[in-house]
Amino acid sequence: MRKLVKFSLVFCFIVIVLGAFTRLTDAGLGCPDWPGCYGFLSVPQSESRQAIAVEAFPDAPLDTQKAWNEMIHRYAAGTLGFLVLAIAVVAIRRRKKADTHHQPLKLPIFLLILICWQAALGMWTVTMMLQPVIVMLHLLGGFTTFSLLYLLYLRETPYRAPGGDPALRKLRSLAAFSMIVVVGQIALGGWVAANYAALACTELPVCEGSWVSQLDFAGAFSLPKAATYEFGVHSYAERMTMHVMHRIGAIVTTLVLGFLLFKLWAQAQTQLFKNSAFVITALLVVQLTLGVSNVVFSLPLAVAVAHNAVGALLLIALVGLNYNLSRKA
Residue-wise pLDDT tens digits, 230-259? 999 999 999 999 999 999 999 999 999 999
Quick: pLDDT tens for 89-135: 999 888 777 656 578 889 999 999 999 999 999 999 999 999 999 99
What's the pTM value of the predicted model, to 2 decimals?
0.93
Residue 286: pLDDT band (50, 70, 90) is very high
Catalytic center residues: 70
Quick: pLDDT tens for 165-211: 788 889 999 999 999 999 999 999 999 999 999 999 989 888 888 88
- Torsions phi, psi of 83, nearest 5? -65, -45
Domain extent listing, the chain: 1-158, 165-329
